[in-house]
Amino acid sequence: MGLDRTEFRALFERQRQPLHRFLARLTGNAADADDLLQEAFATVWRKRELYAGRGSPDGFLRQTAYRLFLNQWKRAARRRELAPPPGPEPTAPPAGTELADEEARRFLLSQVRKALADLPESSREAFLMFRFDGLTAREIAEATGTPVKTVETRVRRATLALAEALARYRHLQAG
């Protein structure tokens, strides 16, 4: 059983914003996210017969969007060879500094990004989907075509690695 137009519209209304967030985080900008989102919905509609009996339409949509991201955007992004962020690396503020301090906040943000960048790519993506898109391990597995247990391992390992990397800056986080 495929997806009819009414169900498709409901899927769009339900997933429009979450999927946009998901794609914006993957691509790093809203415009690319919009393009991928439109293409993802169009692909889901074209392949609606394939969806029949394969999990939720939401999962099918995320899986489609993620594959499009891998196939199109990521390949192009690799060619662009993203340059490192401009400006000097922020230096660590002295112990006891509050998070309200803008300088401390920027420093912590740079360390979070660095810690994320140090993760294996598959773990980073699984963790970010879990953390920011509110997806379950099963949903991530569905979207990325990965076994659930592998996703759980990736999220767990990413969590432990990030915690270890960021432990020394715990004092910068607002209490």
Partner 1 sequence: MHHHDEPEPDADDALPEGLLEAIRAVTEGELPSAELAAALAAIEAAGAVALLEAYRDVHAATSLLAGPASECAVTLADVERATSARRPLRRLWGLRSVRVAAALLVVAGVAAAVWPHDVVPTVALAFAEETARVSPEAAAAERSAALLAEYQPVRDGEPQWIDDPARARDVAAVTGRRVLLFAQHPQCPWCQELRGKTFHDAGVQARLERFVPLMVDVTRIPEGEAVAYLAKGWPYFAALDAAGDELAALPGPASSTQEFTGRLDRTLGKVAPDAAGEREWGPVRASAQRLRAAAALAEGDDLAGAERELRELVAADGDGAFGAAARTRLAELGNEALAVVRDAERKASTDVSGALALLEAAVRRFAGTSWGRDLDAVRSAVEEHGRFPRLVFPVSGDDGHAGDRK
| Secondary structure in 3-state letters for the chain | CCCCHHHHHHHHHHHHHHHHHHHHHHHCCHHHHHHHHHHHHHHHHHCHHHHCCCCCHHHHHHHHHHHHHHHHHHHHHHHHCCCCCCCCCCCCCCCCCCCCCHHHHHHHHHHHHHHHHCCCHHHHHHHHHHHHCCCCHHHHHHHHCCCHHHHHHHHHHHHHHHHHHHHHHHHHCCC
124 binds partner 1 (CB under 8 A): no
Name the one range near partner 1 by CB under 8 A: 56-64, 77-85, 90-98, 157-165: 157-165
69 binds partner 1 (CB under 8 A): no
Write each residue from 6 to 25 as x if it is in contact with partner 1 (CB under 8 A), else as -, in one continuous string.
--xx--xx--xx-xxx--x-
75 binds partner 1 (CB under 8 A): no
Task: Candidates 56, 71, 114, 136: give the one binding partner 1 (CB under 8 A).
Answer: 136
Q: Give the chain's length.
A: 175
The least CB distance from residue 116 to partner 1, in Å, is: 8
122 binds partner 1 (CB under 8 A): yes
Measured N-to-C along each axis, helices 121-132 and 148-166 cross at an angle, to the nearest 10 degrees, of: 90
Name the one range near partner 1 by CB under 8 A: 57-65, 74-82, 89-97, 161-169: 161-169
Site residues for partner 1, 28-57, by CB under 8 A, read: 30, 33-34, 37-39, 41-42, 45-46
Measured N-to-C along each axis, helices 5-27 and 57-68 cross at an angle, to the nearest 10 degrees, of: 40
67 binds partner 1 (CB under 8 A): no
Binding site for partner 1 (CB under 8 A): 8-9, 12-13, 16-17, 19-21, 24, 30, 33-34, 37-39, 41-42, 45-46, 105, 108-109, 112-113, 116, 120-123, 130-132, 136-138, 144-150, 152-156, 159-160, 162-164, 166-167, 169-170, 173
